[in-house]
Structure 1
Amino acid sequence: MQAPEKNRSFTQLIEFEIEPHQQPALVSALSMQTERLARDYAGFLSASIQASDDGRRVLNYLQWQTREAGEAAFRQFESGEQDFWHLIRAHQAKTVTFGSFQVLHSLERSHDNALHCHLVG
């Protein structure tokens, strides 16, 4: 039996396809935006920004305590002064792929090198 949806954390994945010369600037802009999201929006858990070796893709991973927290932050992000659509245009993204996921299983290593598994459900 799975845990109720409201008890699951929520992940947003955003993949950008860009020209290689745009990758460093997009990574920098996403880093600033992500720090602002972490600071200003309740329910933020973690984030990472990953760049492909070929320079053509950037993946932005955002994890929230709940779907509602993630969606509320993204709505505000869309309408802010440095909105998400401006970011896409400024860095000439060819494609942007969005994905939303409920976290059902996670595995992480703690500071003492132990592995911790978290199953939801």
Structure 2
Amino acid sequence: MVTIDENRFFTVMVEFEVEPQFQQVLIDGITDQVDQYFPHFTGFVSASFHASDDGRRVVNYGQWRSKESWMRSSSATGLDIAKESIAEVIKRCGARTAKVDFFQVARVIEG
């Protein structure tokens, strides 16, 4: 299990919009590629996928050791294949990328 700590990881969040019947197909298709390729990239920590209750959105929360490791992986061998496969899944599901943002965990409150 990944622990979310303050100021520890560089976080990339991607939000997709999709029709409800394709929400799980989108998640399965992208996670297959992430699972196959991303663990081999230096600095990759984890990727989580969140499905909205209405079935119309998927949020991907990816963590990297640093912004630099994320940037290095962007040009790594194998990423082009993963990107092409992910783009194909997105197209097949009729999804669109609604938003891409970068974050640093500023505060964590645990219960």
- Change in 2 beyond 3 A, CA 1:100/1:46: same
Q: TM-score, normalized by length of structure 1?
A: 0.70
Please name the residue that 2:4 is paired with.
Answer: none
Asked if 1:25 corresponds to 2:25, the answer is yes
2:63 matches 1:70: no
Query: RMSD of the alignment, in Å?
Result: 2.4
Identity of aligned pairs, percent? 36
Q: Which has the higher strand share?
A: 1
Residues 1:20 and 1:33: Cα distance change in structure 2 (over 3 Å): same
User: How far, CA to CA, are the matches of 1:19 and 1:27 in structure 2?
Assistant: 12
Alpha-carbon distance between aligned partners in 1 of 2:96 and 2:16, rounded to the nearest angstrom: 7
For structure 2, list consecutive stretches of 5 or more residues without a partner in the other structure: 1-6
Partner residue, 1:92:
94
* Unmatched runs of 5 consecutive residues or more in structure 1: 1-6, 109-114, 116-121
1:80 aligns with 2:109: no
In structure 1, what is the Cα distance between the partners aligned to 2:34 and 2:16?
15
In the alignment, the residues of structure 2 paired with residue 21 and residue 89 of structure 1 have an alpha-carbon distance, to the nearest angstrom, of 14
